[in-house]
A and B are shown apart, each in its own frame.
Chain A
Amino acid sequence: MRKNERECPELTDRELIGRGVKGDEVALGVLVRRHQAAAYRVALSLMQGDDMARDVVQDSFLKAFRALDRFRGDASFRTWLLTITANEARGALRRQARRNETAFEEAGVVRSEKMAPDETALVALEADRARTMMENLPEKQRLSLSLRIEEGLSFREIGRVIGSSEGAARANYFHAIRRLRELMK
């Protein structure tokens, strides 16, 4: 267990936020530790470029922590943070598009070039193939898959993040599953 977790054992996000608002650096560190991976994967599923995704995660945490005293708790902190992250990623993509740069597209290709010498690696290769297919899905379908499978969010939470209803989030997820099953055959 890391130092931060020892100093804030078993505290809920809400309790950590309460401390964070008062300037408790340790509490903020624990919140970063708990949610940085999910934020990174959401950013990466939208941008497909490590450096940009890192910047987006950093900016999202900054934005969330600066507004921490205004966090109403309607959704969980994680859902709130991931919504900010998705918005930040879209903003970064718009800025990127304005500059007509497309370097972020290369990252997805690199991930699918791994060699597979044995059966385990074959499974990994299939997984990489699924990932590559997933990256070609429309944004909301891709994000719904990522949030449901990688982060375990409910469809209601996914709806908040992608800016849709619970039903639309469910439809996006199952559309994506059906599309991937077709592509993987």
Chain B
Amino acid sequence: MSSENCAIVRELIPEFVINRLGEDELGLVESHISDCFACREEFELVERIFASRPEVPGNLEESVTRVVIDDLKFSFYRWQWQALSAAAIAALALGIGISLDSPRNAAHNVPDFAYEVEEGDIWLTDDALVAGAPSFDNLSDETLADLIEELSVVTSGGTA
């Protein structure tokens, strides 16, 4: 028995055992192992290993399928939720942006010293300004005179 044939047959033994050989190869292996003791012994060993292969639990397929399908659904819902969240955040950001851009709100958010002073107001106490800063805009001569008098009394420490 040639060692070349042995090498070929030993490569083919697993396919022979699981019945995957074509007609030509099948004939080669069958005739070879009937004459070659070493290859027949190897064939019997491989056959034993194949025969003792572990049985697959009957419910494995069902449990694996259930888990992967659940995961697929969960991934879909997660994707949906993430898409919705992203859309909500984008809408919110857009809304805030528009809101900040509006001229009406700009006046509230950006302190502006173009502050309208009513006739007769002297001491401005709005938080946007320095508390207590006097404003001399739009004061009538009479009011201004009163203010000067008041200030002179305070600085001299006397009373009116």
Looking at A86-94, A125-133, A161-169, the stretch in contact with chain B turns out to be: A125-133
0/1 per residue, A41-52, Cβ < 8 Å to B? Answer: 100100000100
Q: How far is the CB of A116 from chain B (nearest CB, A)?
A: 13
A62 and B68 form a contact (CB under 8 A):
yes
A61 and B51 form a contact (CB under 8 A):
no
0/1 per residue, B57-75, Cβ < 8 Å to A? Answer: 1001101110111011001
Contact of A149 among B17, B54, B63 (CB under 8 A): B17
A-chain residues with CB within 8 Å of residue B48 when the two chains form the complex:
123, 126-127, 129-131
Q: How far is the CB of B18 from chain A (nearest CB, A)?
A: 5
B14 and A32 form a contact (CB under 8 A):
no
Contact of B60 among A57, A127, A180 (CB under 8 A): A57
B72 and A177 form a contact (CB under 8 A):
no
Q: How far is the CB of A133 from chain B (nearest CB, A)?
A: 9
Contact of A50 among B15, B57, B65 (CB under 8 A): B57
A37 and B56 form a contact (CB under 8 A):
yes
Question: B137 in the interface, Cβ–Cβ < 8 Å?
Answer: no
A residues contacting the other copy or chain, number (CB 8 A): 40
Residue of A37, A111, A146 ringed by the most chain B CB atoms within 10 A: A37
0/1 per residue, A129-168, Cβ < 8 Å to B? Answer: 1110010000000000110111010000000000000000
B49 and A32 form a contact (CB under 8 A):
no
With contacts defined as CB atoms under 8 Å apart, how many contacts are there between chain A and chain B in the complex?
A: 98
Given A29-B65, A130-B52, A152-B20, does the pair A62, B71 have CB atoms closer than 8 Å?
yes
A-chain residues with CB within 8 Å of residue B45 when the two chains form the complex:
130, 177, 180-181, 184
B72 and A23 form a contact (CB under 8 A):
yes
Identify 24 residue pairs between A and B in the complex whose beta-carbon atoms are under 8 Å apart, listed by A's number.
A23-B72, A28-B72, A32-B61, A32-B65, A32-B68, A33-B65, A36-B64, A37-B60, A40-B56, A41-B54, A44-B54, A54-B57, A54-B63, A58-B63, A58-B64, A124-B52, A127-B52, A129-B48, A149-B14, A149-B17, A149-B18, A150-B50, A177-B42, A180-B49
Chain B interface (Cβ within 8 Å of chain A)?
10, 14-15, 17-18, 20, 41-42, 45-46, 48-54, 56-57, 60-61, 63-65, 67-69, 71-72, 75-76
Chain A interface (Cβ within 8 Å of chain B)?
23, 25, 28-29, 32-33, 36-37, 40-41, 44, 50, 54, 57-58, 61-62, 65-66, 111, 123-124, 126-131, 134, 145-146, 148-150, 152, 174, 177, 180-181, 184
